[in-house]
């Protein structure tokens, strides 16, 4: 118990005690917030730049300590949803590398969506968002879930007025953006800043492959690595330090499409059935798999690439040439490949206190 609280109690002054507590929760009553944001440079290993370049940052939304703190609070805040029941983190769970273990996330009205909630990992290097790439920035992406009728089901004026009447938020917005009058763009800018800090490059794969520590892999994982980069040809699309080339491709899941993916966004039939190549980072944690969550295990995914690719799929990607007619992996090779995929898990990512609910 600190001295201030003791003096409150000895005085027997309940009102004073309340005032003491209030000080701890919010800004000091007469505190004038200062606008002097501290630039924050997101740290990641130097080899990332060699393979995938420096993380780009929008010129109108530089990452700052204050912006990230605000974005983190907003990401976990249920005030964003209509009935105060759901935050971004309700569907993007840290234990699952910010994805949803449910096949389809459920909105605040209890109805399921129609695609798997994607993992939020190394998003700063991505330039098109959602499975179909319909949003060109993290800032614009973050606008959508709030008003989506199968997600948070809210409207921006309600969100803004809730935040505006909160004892803490106006001061935080001022510190991050120099304005106390909140608008939706400030909300999404802050969330995007927080998302840019969610970097994951500390898996055993990274130690082995990029940092040259061959002792971290078992023989089985080494065999799996050789398959991934060789006979199974996975890294044609799941490539570079990101384990994705960020392109939109058709990997032959279906011969005809119920969800046309990129085709709906571009209006081009040659884009039908193309979806964002997802990162394989933390893939053991981001089940179920594919845009429609059709596979629950990595073994099923490997079986699919091994012998279930639909060669008649319109727009089947050219990078599937080596895979499409069957990989014919042995049972042992399949186990080896799965063991290797599990080396992409970065446990420091999902236990990073800076990423958790503030
Ligand atoms: C009800 C569940 C749900 C909520 C709440 C939700 N999301 Fe999502 N999120 C999804 C789903 C599902 C997708 C994929 C949808 C699609 O592709 O059409 C997605 C996709 C994304 C992506 C795209 C990732 C990529 O690789 O392109 C980002 C980023 C993201 N969400 C961030 C957020 C943020 C920020 C919030 C809060 C403002 C939020 N989400 C709230 C379910 C949810
Ligand atoms: C032609 C490019 C391409 C190649 C080659 C490729 N993939 Fe994929 N992969 C994709 C695309 C695109 C998706 C998403 C498809 C969808 O949901 O419609 C995907 C999805 C996945 C997923 C699910 C990810 C998630 O978050 O749901 C896993 C796991 C995966 N691939 C592993 C592999 C493995 C293992 C190999 C090698 C055997 C491989 N991929 C080869 C393009 C490719």
Cβ atoms of 38 and 64 closer than 8 Å: yes
Cα distance between residue 76 and residue 86, in whole Å: 9
For residues 355 and 15, give the distance between their C-alpha atoms in angstroms, rounded to a whole number: 36
Q: What is the largest CA-CA distance in the chain?
A: 82
Of 247, 225, 227, 226, nearest to 238 by C-alpha is 247
Q: Which of 283, 278, 309, 307 is nearest to 297 (CA)?
A: 283
187 CB less than 6 Å from ligand 2? no
- Asked if residue 141 has its Cβ within 6 Å of ligand 1, the reply is yes
Task: pLDDT tens for the chain, 358 residues: list them.
Answer: 343 433 333 333 333 333 344 444 445 555 677 899 999 999 999 999 999 999 999 999 999 999 999 999 999 999 999 999 999 999 999 999 999 999 999 999 999 999 999 999 999 999 999 999 999 999 999 999 999 999 999 999 999 999 999 999 999 999 999 999 999 999 999 999 999 999 999 999 999 999 999 999 999 999 999 999 999 999 999 999 999 999 999 999 999 999 999 999 999 999 999 999 999 999 999 999 999 999 999 999 999 999 999 999 999 999 999 999 999 999 999 999 999 999 999 999 999 999 999 9
End-to-end CA distance of the chain: 23
Q: Which value, in Å, is the radius of gyration of the alpha carbons in the chain?
A: 23
Q: Is the CB of 291 under 6 A from ligand 2?
A: yes
Q: Ligand 2 pocket check: which of 235, 278, 309 to mutate, most ligand atoms within 8 Å of Cβ?
A: 278
Cα 250 to middle of ligand 2, angstroms:
9
Task: Among 71, 75, 84, 88, say which to mutate for ligand 1: greatest number of ligand atoms within 8 Å of CB.
Answer: 88
Q: How many CA atoms lie within 13 A of 136 on its CB side?
A: 2
A 10 A CB-CB count for 191 gives 28
Residue 126's nearest CA partner among 211, 203, 58 is 58
Q: Whose CA is nearest to atom 6 of ligand 2?
A: 234
């Amino acid at each position: 118990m600190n001295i201030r609280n003791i003096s409150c109690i000895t005085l027997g002054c309940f009102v004073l005690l309340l005032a003491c507590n209030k000080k701890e929760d919010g800004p000091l009553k007469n505190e004038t917030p200062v606008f002097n944001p501290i630039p924050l440079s997101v740290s990641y290993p130097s080899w990332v730049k060699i393979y995938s370049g420096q993380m780009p940052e929008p010129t109108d939304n530089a990452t700052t300590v204050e912006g990230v703190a605000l974005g983190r609070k907003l990401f976990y805040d249920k005030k964003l949803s209509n009935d105060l029941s759901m935050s971004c983190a309700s569907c993007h769970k840290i234990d699952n590398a910010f994805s949803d273990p449910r096949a389809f996330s459920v909105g605040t009205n209890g109805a399921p969506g129609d695609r798997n909630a994607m993992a939020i990992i190394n998003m700063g290097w991505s330039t098109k968002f959602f499975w179909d790439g319909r949003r060109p920035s993290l800032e614009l992406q973050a606008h959508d879930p709030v008003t989506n009728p199968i997600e948070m089901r809210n409207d921006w004026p309600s969100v803004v007025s809730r935040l505006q009447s909160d004892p803490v938020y106006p001061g935080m917005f001022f510190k991050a953006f120099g304005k106390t009058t909140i608008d939706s763009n400030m909300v999404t800018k802050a969330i995007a800043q927080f998302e840019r800090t969610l970097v994951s490059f500390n898996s055993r794969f990274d130690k082995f492959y990029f940092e040259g520590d061959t002792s971290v892999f078992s023989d089985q994982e080494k065999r799996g690595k050789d398959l991934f980069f060789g006979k199974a040809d996975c890294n044609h699309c799941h490539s570079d330090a990101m384990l994705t080339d960020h392109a939109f491709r058709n990997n032959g899941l279906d011969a005809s499409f119920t969800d046309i993916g990129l085709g709906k966004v571009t209006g081009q039939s040659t884009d039908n059935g193309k979806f964002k190549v997802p990162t394989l980072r933390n893939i053991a944690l981001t089940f179920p798999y594919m845009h429609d969550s059709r596979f629950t295990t990595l073994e099923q995914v490997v079986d699919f690439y091994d012998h279930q690719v639909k060669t008649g799929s319109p727009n089947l990607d050219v990078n599937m040439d080596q895979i499409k007619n069957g990989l014919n992996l042995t049972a042992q090779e399949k186990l080896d490949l799965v063991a290797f995929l599990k080396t992409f898990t970065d446990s420091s990512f999902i236990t990073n206190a800076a990423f958790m609910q503030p």
